[in-house]
Structure formats: C-alpha cells, structure tokens
Amino acid sequence: NAGVTQTPKFRILKIGQSMTLQCTQDMNHNYMYWYRQDPGMGLKLIYYSVGAGITDKGEVPNGYNVSRSTTEDFPLRLELAAPSQTSVYFCASSFAQGGTEAFFGQGTRLTVV
C-alpha cells in the first residue's frame, strides 16, 4: 500500500503564478483533508471532503480551491500565489465512521517569491 501520496515535494512559485498540488490515496478512505503547516503554528485545515463530489471549507480556505471527482484524488489549487502561501502543505485521509487515524502524505514545501 502506498497510503497517501503527494506531489510535488518541493516547489518555488513566483507571485501571481498558479499551481495544483496533487494528492491521491489508495486506502478507499471517504474523508480527505488539506492542511498547511507554518512554523510554530501547528496544522491549519484548508479544505476537506467527506466523499467524491463533496467539499467544504476549513479554517483558512482563502486563496485555495479543491475538487473531489474520485474517492482517490483530492487536488489543491492555488490561484494567484502570494508570499503568505509559503508553507508546508499536507494532504491526509481517514475513514468516515468513528474517530479514526488520519494518514498523512509526505508534504509539499512551497515557497512563493
């Protein structure tokens, strides 16, 4: 099992550029999440999805968009990148029912210059 796979691992963007962070999981999890991790600030939820075709905003959604066309994939889109979006991004997934473990991808370190 690959678990949760994110690409790319590193990326440098110029201000105003756009990009998509890819996330795929092979555990047939219904729930998927995108977090950003800033130094000393913990993990902040950007968007989450409870199943294919359903997405919802988390704590810090501004400047991002997501889609969930399949159970496996949950890409995060950055439009008009800003320096404030410099961060480490983690995708995660979990089963829907009950309190269960969230499995994380390896992270994407994004720098906007």
Judged by beta carbon, residue 77 or residue 109, the one nearer other proteins is 109
The minimum distance between CB 101 and other proteins, in angstroms, equals 5
Residue 86 CB, nearest approach to other proteins (Å): 16
Judge whether 55 and 49 are in contact, CB under 8 Å: yes
Give whichever of 58 and 61 is closer to other proteins, judged by the CB atom: 58
Could you tell me which of 20, 21, 28 has the C-alpha nearest to residue 51?
A: 28
Residue whose C-alpha is closest to residue 85's, from 62, 107, 106, 66: 62
Sign for the CA dihedral angle at 56, 57, 58, 63 comes to: positive
Contacting residues toward other proteins, per CB under 8 A = 31, 33, 35, 40-45, 48, 50, 58-59, 90, 92, 94-102, 104-107
What is the closest distance, in whole angstroms, from the C-beta atom of residue 109 to other proteins in the complex?
Answer: 9
- Nearer Cβ to other proteins (31/74): 31
